Structure 1
């Protein structure tokens, strides 16, 4: 019997290296200028800062392979400290506030040309779904 894995992502992350400017709202301090993965819901930005999860961020980034820039607000959803094997270094995972429909559509179309990212950590096992599958067998 194989265990089912939990999928907590709504959108596939793509291996698109993107120039950006991510700035903390508080103090207006620069967090980073390079994102190493991107989805329509967020991005992973390399940083040397030590921000806190939940902090609001203003981000501007160029849609890959275009000259179009998107300005968005986001929240720090995750902080990577660069200690785990496979971590790209210190980085922050940003979750975008909802993008406008036109920006979302353009970004989705551009990201289709990039491969999905390789996960940095193993997926969690969804024990409830696995137990339900066993019960139905």
Structure 2
């Protein structure tokens, strides 16, 4: 929820890391706004409550944008919460990339010159 007016911004998080997450949201919000986050650690009954900053606003206009939402950067978590979150996330598969892999033209040219 947004800190200044306690408006609920969303209730589904994607792409969770120990530093932040992507929150599905159709609510208008701005980069730099402070928010309060309460999330359940995946696969457990444990909740983490922290503050975060909106680092990115995704409007869903690009072809690789899966949805509208907000990129949140967590405030530093307590050591116990951070260790638990990292431990749980290490056991989960990473998210699939949404963009195609970029071609390294300089690296390719370098390999061609070596042959």
Question: TM-score scaled to structure 1, two decimals?
Answer: 0.71
Taking the TM superposition and a 5 Å limit, the aligned residue runs for 1:103-114 are 103-114=81-92
CA RMSD of aligned residues (A): 2.1
**The structure with more strand, counted as a fraction of residues:** 1
How many residue pairs get aligned? The number is 108
Q: For the residues of structure 1 that align with 2:65 and 2:73, how far apart are their CA atoms? A: 19
2:33 pairs with 1:55: yes
Q: For the residues of structure 2 that align with 1:71 and 1:124, how far apart are their CA atoms? A: 37
2:55 pairs with 1:74: no
Equivalent residue for 2:19, pick from 34, 41, 51:
41
List per-residue Cα deviations over 1:5-46 (Å, max 9, x = no partner): xxxxxxxxxxxxxxxxxx000111000000011000000000
2:9 pairs with 1:31: yes
**Structure 1, unaligned runs of 5 or more:** 1-22
Shift of 1:113: 1.5
**Structure 2, unaligned runs of 5 or more:** 111-115
SS at match of 2:50: strand
Whose Rg is larger?
Answer: 2
Q: For the residues of structure 1 that align with 2:56 and 2:99, how far apart are their CA atoms? A: 13
Aligned to 2:113: none
